[in-house]
Structure formats: structure tokens, C-alpha cells
């Protein structure tokens, strides 16, 4: 049997960190060899690992990128809510090492991404687009990274201006709006609905995650896949073999 892929887990004390540890306990192909949370140095923990998995906070990305670039380790970024500058940092890092960046590691949500692309192509500009997401009360960023990915998929098809919620005398809806709405409460793991509202009919595509294990299993799959890949920025669709890369 091949040696297990050695993982340094960043954000190990959080909800996703704990789900990753649990998933890794049942996966002989990966081993968590080191774990960091807020305040812990990434070095020297990174030295004994093949890949870093990050489920912490967007502000951790600078130190993580510096360490993986210096030591040439692969990186899986599950954290969401990065600023444009932090996103640019991830892209710079991906010129030195292989990086998987995914707003959502679940197979079902990656199917939702594909279905959203197809429905957008089929229905065209007569359909108004709205995205609704709901997460637990402790989530720190809004809208969710997954809602932003869904919006970006549709923005590749036609010119759309994101509108985050509505309040007051906002006037009639403009044809080029894409409404994005974030609901927070309870212990909801993650719900996403894409609404295509057309004349006389409405299509809604909904995904509901009921357990963080689906994200954890996907992130471990990404970690196994990314070790040994050439430097570059990869998506979960690359991991799942859904994209053609020249």
C-alpha cells in the first residue's frame, strides 16, 4: 500500500477542523501529522507534511502561503471570505506550488455548480436570477463562498450586477441584477438555492448539506489528489475530473 499523505491541518479546533480529524481517522490514505490553530506557528509543523489543509479564517492565508511556498508543500484552501488582496496572494502562491481552492468540497454542490451553468445556458436572459443561502448562526462571512461561486458561474454567461439584499424604495428589479441573500440561524450546515424566475414559470435548484462530513471527505480527497500535481490553481471540479486542462 502507498504511504498515507501527511497533512498539516490549520484551524484544527473549529467545526470543520474537527470534522476533518474525524474523517481522517477513517481514511487509511491520509494521516494528520500536525495541527495548528490560532496563535500556533505553522513552522516547523509544516516540515513533516506533504500538504496543508486550511479551514481557519481568511486572515491566516498570508502565513500559510509564505510557509507552503518556502517549503514547496501542496495546499488545500477550504476557508472562505478572502478579500481581493488575499485572493491575489493565493494566486501568487499557486505559481510556486499546487493549490486547490474550493468554496465547497461536497459532490452535491459541485453537481449544483454544473446544473446552474446548464440551466443558465438553457433559460437565458428572460429569467431573473436570485441566490439564497442559509448557514448556522456562528458563520463569520457573508454571503457564503458557495453563493459567490454560483454568482460567478452565472456572471460568466451574461452581464450581471450583484445586489446583496434589498431594503427601502429600491425601485423595480433591473434585468441585470443578481440578488444574493444570506440567512443566518440555528445550526444549519449549509443550504443554497438558485432561483431562475421567468415569465409564467420558476425553476429552483436547491442543495442542502446535513453534515460537515461531506465537506471533510471532499477536502481529504482534494489533499490526496493535489500532492504531486504541478504548481497551479485548481478547483474541486479539477479534483473530480470534471474539467479539461491543457
Ligand X SMILES: NC(=O)c1ccc[n+]([C@@H]2O[C@H](COP(=O)([O-])OP(=O)(O)OC[C@H]3O[C@@H](n4cnc5c(N)ncnc54)[C@H](O)[C@@H]3O)[C@@H](O)[C@H]2O)c1
Instruction: Choose, by CB under 6 A, the member of 7, 9, 14, 142 that binds ligand X.
Output: 14
Distance in Å, CB of 123 to ligand X, minimum: 27
Interacting residues with ligand X between 171 and 190 (CB under 6 A): none
Residue with cell 486547490: 100
Q: Which stretch binds ligand X (CB under 6 A): 33-41, 68-76, 83-91, 115-123?
A: 33-41
SS (H, E, C) 171-182: CCCCCCEEEEEE
- In the bound state with ligand X, the residue whose beta carbon lies nearer, of 113 and 196, is 113
Peptide bond just before 149 cis, omega within 30 deg: no
C-alpha to C-alpha distance for 34 and 110, rounded to whole angstroms: 29
The pattern of x and - marking residues 37 through 56 that bind ligand X according to CB under 6 A reads xx----------------xx
- In the bound state with ligand X, the residue whose beta carbon lies nearer, of 16 and 194, is 16
Distance in Å, CB of 11 to ligand X, minimum: 3
Residue 116 binding ligand X, by CB under 6 A = no
Q: Is 181 a catalytic residue?
A: no
- In the bound state with ligand X, the residue whose beta carbon lies nearer, of 113 and 215, is 215
C-alpha to C-alpha distance for 138 and 190, rounded to whole angstroms: 12
Angle in degrees, 0-180, between the axes of helices 213-226 and 107-123, rounded to the nearest 10: 90
Among 135, 181, 192, 207, which one carries the catalytic annotation? 135
CA angle 7, 231, 245 (to 5 degrees): 110
What are 221's three cell numbers?
480527497
C-alpha to C-alpha distance for 246 and 243, rounded to whole angstroms: 10
Among 71, 72, 136, 139, which one carries the catalytic annotation? 139
Distance in Å, CB of 176 to ligand X, minimum: 28
Instruction: Choose, by CB under 6 A, the member of 113, 196, 215, 225 that binds ligand X.
Output: 215
Residue 10 and residue 42 in contact, taking contact as beta carbons nearer than 8 Å: yes
C-alpha to C-alpha distance for 68 and 94, rounded to whole angstroms: 10
Bridge-partner residues for 36, per DSSP?
Answer: 10
Residue 11 binding ligand X, by CB under 6 A = yes
Just list the catalytic residues: 135, 139
Q: What residue ranges bind ligand X (CB under 6 A)?
A: 10-11, 13-17, 36-38, 55-57, 59-60, 78-81, 102-105, 141, 145, 215
Amino acid at each position: 500500500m502507498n504511504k498515507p499523505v501527511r497533512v498539516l491541518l490549520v484551524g484544527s479546533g473549529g467545526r470543520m477542523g474537527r470534522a476533518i480529524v474525524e474523517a481522517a481517522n477513517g481514511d487509511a490514505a491520509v494521516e494528520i501529522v500536525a495541527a495548528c490553530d490560532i496563535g500556533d506557528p505553522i513552522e516547523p509543523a509544516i516540515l513533516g507534511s506533504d500538504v496543508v489543509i486550511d479551514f481557519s479564517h481568511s486572515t491566516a492565508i498570508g502565513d500559510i502561503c509564505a510557509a507552503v511556498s518556502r517549503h514547496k508543500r501542496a495546499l488545500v484552501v477550504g476557508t472562505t471570505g478572502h478579500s481581493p488582496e488575499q485572493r491575489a496572494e493565493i494566486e501568487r502562491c499557486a505559481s510556486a506550488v499546487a493549490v486547490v481552492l474550493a468554496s465547497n468540497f461536497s459532490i452535491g454542490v459541485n453537481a449544483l455548480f454544473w446544473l446552474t451553468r446548464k440551466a443558465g445556458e438553457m433559460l437565458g436572459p428572460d429569467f431573473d436570477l436570485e441566490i439564497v443561502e442559509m448557514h448556522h448562526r456562528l458563520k463569520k462571512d457573508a454571503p457564503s463562498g458557495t453563493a459567490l461561486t454560483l454568482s460567478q458561474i452565472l456572471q460568466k454567461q451574461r452581464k450581471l450586477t450583484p445586489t446583496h439584499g434589498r431594503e427601502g424604495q429600491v425601485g423595480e428589479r433591473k434585468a441585470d441584477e443578481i440578488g444574493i441573500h444570506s440567512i443566518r440561524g440555528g445550526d444549519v450546515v449549509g443550504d443554497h438555492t438558485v432561483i431562475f424566475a421567468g415569465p409564467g414559470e420558476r425553476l429552483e435548484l436547491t442543495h442542502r448539506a446535513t453534515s460537515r462530513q461531506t465537506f471533510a471527505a471532499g477536502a481529504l480527497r482534494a489533499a490526496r489528489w493535489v500532492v504531486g500535481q504541478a504548481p497551479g490553481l485548481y478547483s474541486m471540479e479539477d479534483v473530480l475530473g470534471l474539467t479539461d486542462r491543457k
